[in-house]
Chains A and B, each alone.
Chain A
Amino acid sequence: MAKRSHYDLIIIGAGPAGMTAGVYAARKQISTLILTENVGGQALWSSGVENYLGYIYITGAELVQKFEEHLRTFDVELEFDRVVGLHRTEEGFRVDAQSGESYTARAVIVAAGKSPRLLDVPGEKEFTGRGVTYCSTCDAPLFAGMDVAVVGGGNSGLDAVVQLMRICPKVYLIEITPTLRADEVLQEKVRSAKNVEIMTRTAVREIHGDNFVTGITVENLETRTLRTIDVKGVFVEIGLVPNADFVKELVALNRYGEIPVDCGAWTGVPGLYAAGDVTDVPEKQIICAAGDGAKAALGAYSYLVRLPVSLDWSDQRTKQ
């Protein structure tokens, strides 16, 4: 449970953007709540980071851990919950969480990141965690000795194939477009493997099983023929979608579902800022997200001090 229900600032998300915003807000001593489902966001999935200055090489998990340690040296509240609604009120905003809790704030920063895109086929939801997985780095080793399918011909899809082809008798790589989009190096590795069958122009139509996945039905889009393949694992790697559904009523999203922002991380709605991969900022990088988070927090702070209603200093004083 959060300590209170009203804050100066609510930050939604605790990836690089949200955590950096948290540090900046804390240093300005505005009452801040970070509402998030997890710590780290997409940065956590990175097996190795070599372009975040100060670290020549660090894993995503380690970098995120350092971010969290840094954040926790400040008096910032973190509440683990999923945001389901964001609404304007007379005083600012109301944020509704999945747990049923609601919080209000004068300003909000949306740094909710992205989530794996779903296949949206029958059986997918039912078998998630029971053969269907969206985290190949997490779950690949569990499928050793089993036949599996990887959906998606981009870098993350082929990364998954490379992991799996060493431990699985047979790996099917399914891509809906005519060509693979992954880096050449990865494509070569996959093409030279004897136990990988590449199926382009092929769509997954259904995932079936009993307790666990037993197979999938795919359609060849050229010949319009259906084929059933026996697999025990389905690794879905078809990209990401912004977690911006709850912002839709307040901001017109772009065609990718991202939140458009200006160079100051402002959404155009007074008091509402956004940062990181959930925005239309073209480069999806940890260092960019962190920088955007800083801009959003400073922007929100400037907005708050200009508000006719004074900041809730009384509460700050009682805390100290």
Chain B
Amino acid sequence: MSAKNVVVYSTPTCPYCHQVKEYLKNKGVEFVEYNVATDMEARNAMVQKSGQLGVPVIDVDGNIVVGFNRAKLEELLAKA
């Protein structure tokens, strides 16, 4: 598995965001995290990328996943 460029857009209060981050940590996947509750620039980027306003949003090498969809993340992270 080659290193992926993974970005997580989240808010501190969102339990699904918490789960996504734990999931990635457990898998040993490094990721960049943006708190879109306070970081307006990141919030705009998230809206641009995902076309919606809801967290979490996960960007895996440009593939956008909205919500903690494990099956989808599994698939994207497994790609060579």
The 8 Å CB contact of B53, one of A45, A47, A81, A130, is A130
Contact with B along A40-55 (1 / 0, CB 8 A): 1000110100000000
Q: Say yes or no for B15: interface residue by CB 8 A criterion.
A: yes
CB distance from A62 to the nearest CB of B (A): 8
- B68 contacts A142, CB within 8 Å? no
B: contact size bracket: 20 to 34
B5 interfacial contact with A, CB 8 Å = no
- Known A-B contacts A81-B71, A129-B66, A130-B51; the reply to A142 vs B11 at CB < 8 A is yes
Does A138 lie within 8 Å of B19, measured CB to CB? no
B51 to chain A, nearest CB (A): 7
Q: Are B17 and A138 in contact (CB under 8 A)?
A: yes
A residues 39-87 touching B (CB-CB < 8 Å): 39-40, 44-45, 47, 59-61, 64-65, 80-81
Interface of B is mostly: loop
User: Chain A 234-246 against B: per-residue CB contact (8 Å), 1 yes, 0 no?
Assistant: 0000000000000
Q: Smallest CB–CB gap between A137 and chain B, Å? A: 5
**Contact partner, B22, options A65, A144, A233, Cβ 8 Å:** A65
**Which residues of chain A are near B19, meaning CB under 8 Å?**
38-40, 44, 61, 64-65
B52, A138: Cβ atoms under 8 Å?
no
Q: Are A131 and B68 in contact (CB under 8 A)?
A: no
Closest to B50 in A: A129
Please, how many angstroms separate the alpha-carbon atoms of A40 and B69 in the complex? 14
Chain A proximity of B61: nearest CB distance (Å): 21
Contact flag A138-B11 (CB < 8 Å), given A39-B19, A80-B71, A144-B37: yes
A138 touches B55 (CB 8 A): yes
- Residues in A neighbouring B13, C-beta threshold 8 A: 47, 137-138, 140-141
Contact (Cβ within 8 A) A141 B37: yes
Q: Is residue B36 contacting chain A, with contact meaning CB distance below 8 A?
A: yes
Q: Which of B15, B36, B38, B66 contacts A44 (CB 8 A)?
A: B15
Number of A-B contacts (CB under 8 A): 76
User: Is the CB–CB distance between A138 and B37 below 8 Å?
Assistant: no
Contacts of B17 in A (CB 8 A): 138
Name A137's closest neighbour in chain B (CB-CB). Answer: B13
Say yes or no: is B31 at the interface (Cβ < 8 Å to chain A): no
Structural contact, A139 and B11, CB atoms closer than 8 A: yes
Q: Is A195's beta carbon under 8 Å from chain B?
A: no
Q: How far is the CB of B22 from chain A (nearest CB, A)?
A: 6
Residue among A44, A131, A143, A233 having the largest count of chain B Cβ atoms under 10 Å? A44
Partner of A139, one of B14, B68, B69: B14
Q: Which residue of B lies closest to A133 (CB)?
A: B54
Chain A's closest residue to B18 (CB) is A61
A39, A44, A141: residue with the most chain B Cβ atoms closer than 10 Å:
A141
CA distance A137 to B14 in the complex (A): 6
A212 and B54 CA atoms in complex are apart in Å by: 12
Query: What's the nearest-Cβ distance from chain A to residue B72, in Å?
Result: 9
Q: Knowing that A64-B15, A138-B56 are A-B contacts, what are 18 other residue pairs whose CB atoms are under 8 Å apart, sorted by A's residue number?
A: A38-B68, A44-B15, A59-B15, A61-B15, A61-B19, A129-B52, A129-B53, A131-B53, A133-B53, A138-B11, A138-B14, A138-B16, A138-B54, A141-B37, A141-B38, A142-B43, A142-B53, A143-B53
Ranked 4 nearest A-B pairs via Cβ: A141-B37, A138-B14, A129-B52, A61-B15
Q: Can you report 15 residue pairs joining A to B where beta carbons are below 8 Å apart? A: A39-B19, A44-B16, A45-B15, A61-B19, A64-B15, A81-B71, A131-B53, A135-B54, A137-B13, A138-B11, A138-B14, A138-B15, A138-B55, A139-B54, A139-B55
A contacts, CB < 8 Å to B: 38-40, 44-45, 47, 59-61, 64-65, 80-81, 99, 129-131, 133, 135, 137-144, 211-212, 233
